Amino acid sequence: MKIRLENVVKTFETFRAVRDVSLTIESGELVALLGPSGSGKTTILRMVAGLEYADGGHIYFGDQDATDIPVRDRGVGFVFQHYALFPHMTVAENIAFGMKVSKVKREKAAIDARVVELLRLVRLEGLGDRFPAQISGGQRQRVALARALSVDPKVLLLDEPFGALDANVRHDLRRWLREIHRELGITTIFVTHDQEEALDLADRVVILKDGHIIQQGTAEEVCRNPQSAFVMKFLGDANVLAAEVRDGKAYASGAAIDVSGMADGKAELYARPADLDWSAQGPGIPASITRVLDRPDGRRVLATTETGDQLEFDVEPERAVKAGEGGFVTLRRAKVFALG
């Protein structure tokens, strides 16, 4: 089902959570709403679900205006961050609940068969008799997903689905959700504040800030072409250097980057740690190493330039570097954003 938001607005008392958001989600698409807390992402999701009503604007499910359809009749599957499993029901009863209360009457045998099918889909065969308190967090989240899918929703909505799980489980579930999505082809929107999760999982990432959409696109588009300093910073670690744009070139700490077409004036230069190279001899920005952080996939070096800027970059695991050493940093690529 194609979902379309048109100039949607939501205000909580005095806090404007969502300001004039328009967004189209194609049928079968997997979209991530990504943003820091307070950016309005969860509110948008809850408005699509009908758990909140929009103060202004319209939400369309296909061609139907769903803005004022209550959640009960909207036909969405919602997965809550903290699972919201019914603690007094077994896993199977949780999954069957939606089918039992549905206006569409189903035979008991049909419900049981569907529960077994869903348990298999979420790979929890044999756990139907357990209570939510007796299974792990990752399993609970899978039960929550099975329960949401049980009512054949038009759209699947997930609110920080992996937020309460530890890193390893999160990684597995992410891949698994992608598989389920491919298998079912259901239009899916999920909310996250974890940029890695959004980039790994979604067909399209919608980045929000202060209730606005500030950029959207595939993971490749937003990563390669961030259109603002906020997106650049939010998507990952970035070094920031004060820069000056003159005649199509940006100058920062003695380095020059080609920025043809940009107006002259003060700017900021952003570079990913992987975009910096370190060498003992010049040319480059002179700097001295203050700390070396060892990580499984390489060595992260923290350095200070002569002008006092802090830089972070990565070197190969074999590279011998230590605090106190001096050297030169060269920029392989960088983004420059005008200030103000």
Binding stretches for another protein (CB under 8 A) = 49-51, 70-74, 76-78, 80, 82-88, 97-98, 101-103, 131, 133, 137, 147-148, 150-151, 163-165
CA distances from 159 to 45, 183, 188, 231, 253 (A): 7, 21, 11, 21, 43
Shortest CB 209 distance to another protein, Å: 21
Shortest CB 78 distance to another protein, Å: 4
Shortest CB 51 distance to another protein, Å: 6
Measure the CA–CA gap between 312 and 314, rounded to whole angstroms.
7
Are 16 and 211 contacting, i.e. CB atoms less than 8 angstroms apart?
A: yes
**Going by C-beta distance under 8 Å and a sequence separation of 6 or more, which residues neighbour residue 246?**
264
Pick between residue 164 and residue 184 the one whose CB is nearest to another protein. 164
Pick between residue 94 and residue 253 the one whose CB is nearest to another protein. 94
Are 252 and 241 contacting, i.e. CB atoms less than 8 angstroms apart?
A: yes
Pick between residue 134 and residue 218 the one whose CB is nearest to another protein. 134
* Cα four-point dihedral sign 25, 27, 33, 38: positive
Shortest CB 102 distance to another protein, Å: 5
Pick between residue 151 and residue 302 the one whose CB is nearest to another protein. 151
Shortest CB 49 distance to another protein, Å: 6
Shortest CB 24 distance to another protein, Å: 23
CA distances from 204 to 25, 107, 187, 234 (A): 9, 39, 12, 16
Are 324 and 254 contacting, i.e. CB atoms less than 8 angstroms apart?
A: no
Residue 93 has a CB neighbour count (10 Å cut-off) of 17
Pick between residue 100 and residue 333 the one whose CB is nearest to another protein. 100
Pick between residue 147 and residue 204 the one whose CB is nearest to another protein. 147
What is the SS3 string spanning 97-138?
Answer: HHHHHCCCCCCHHHHHHHHHHHHHHCCCCCCCCCCHHHCCHH
Residue 325 has a CB neighbour count (10 Å cut-off) of 16
Shortest CB 98 distance to another protein, Å: 3
Shortest CB 144 distance to another protein, Å: 8
Q: Is 2 helix (H, G, I), strand (E, B) or coil?
A: coil
Measure the CA–CA gap between 127 and 264, rounded to whole angstroms.
65
Pick between residue 94 and residue 215 the one whose CB is nearest to another protein. 94
Residue 106 has a CB neighbour count (10 Å cut-off) of 14
Pick between residue 98 and residue 128 the one whose CB is nearest to another protein. 98
